[in-house]
Amino acid sequence: MVKVLFVCLGNICRSPMAEGVFRRRVAEAELLEHVEIDSAGTHAYHVGEPPDERAQAAAVRRGADISGLRGRQAGVEDLERYDLVLAMDHENYAHLRAICPPGHEHKIRLFLEFATRSDERAVPDPYFGSASGFDRVLDLIEDAAEGLLAEVRARLAR
């Protein structure tokens, strides 16, 4: 089993979209029984809330229903539990490193490290922008999801 956690600021835009897209990719690869997927935020701004409506609409257009997800805050226990803790940007990465218990630092990475078509390393936060920003974010997420799926397959093969 490979356990993957996506993390953004509030867990209502980027990380739930990444969770939904990656869950769809893993299902298509018939690996759902071998991969645990979740998302969380570094802050508790939206705990218990569904993803942003624009994020839900954009994700549905890409084949991922994220309407059932609810925001939650990432904690120390997540860094102990998950094999890959994937930050959406450098601020999220720094926050995760600051709360990380010793010996688990290697699990924290930027999600876009897995991108194969983009040189960007931070997924921009679309929250204060227009609906088109969510499509741009999904382009980056879908690119990185491909690379991440290859990494998960390699880990499962070991």
Instruction: Please write the tens of the pLDDT for every residue from 48-77.
Output: 999 999 999 999 999 999 999 999 999 999
Neighbours of 51 (CB within 10 A): 28
Q: Which residue has the tokens 């994700």?
A: 59
Extents of the domains making up the chain: 2-157
CATH number for region 2-157: 3.40.50.2300
- With a pLDDT cut of 70, the percent of the chain lying above it is 100
pLDDT at 127: 95
Active site residue 65: no
Among 8, 13, 25, 38, the active-site one is 8
What's the confidence (pLDDT) of residue 24? Answer: 97
Q: Is 13 a catalytic residue?
A: no
Classify strands 35-41 and 84-87 as parallel, antiparallel or unpaired: unpaired
Helix, strand, coil abundance in the chain, percent, nearest 5: 50, 15, 35
For range 20-42, the mean pLDDT:
98
14 is catalytic: yes
What average pLDDT does range 103-123 have in this prediction?
97
Confidence band, pLDDT 50/70/90 cuts, at residue 40: very high
Catalytic residue among 52, 78, 89, 125: 125
What was the pLDDT predicted at 151? 98
Instruction: Give the list of residues 6+ apart from residue 123 with CB closer than 8 angstroms, or none.
Output: 8, 14, 18, 88, 89, 111, 112, 137, 140, 141
Whole-angstrom Cα distance, residue 121 to residue 103? 24
Active-site residue among 14, 23, 25, 72?
14
pLDDT range class, residue 142, cuts 50, 70, 90: very high
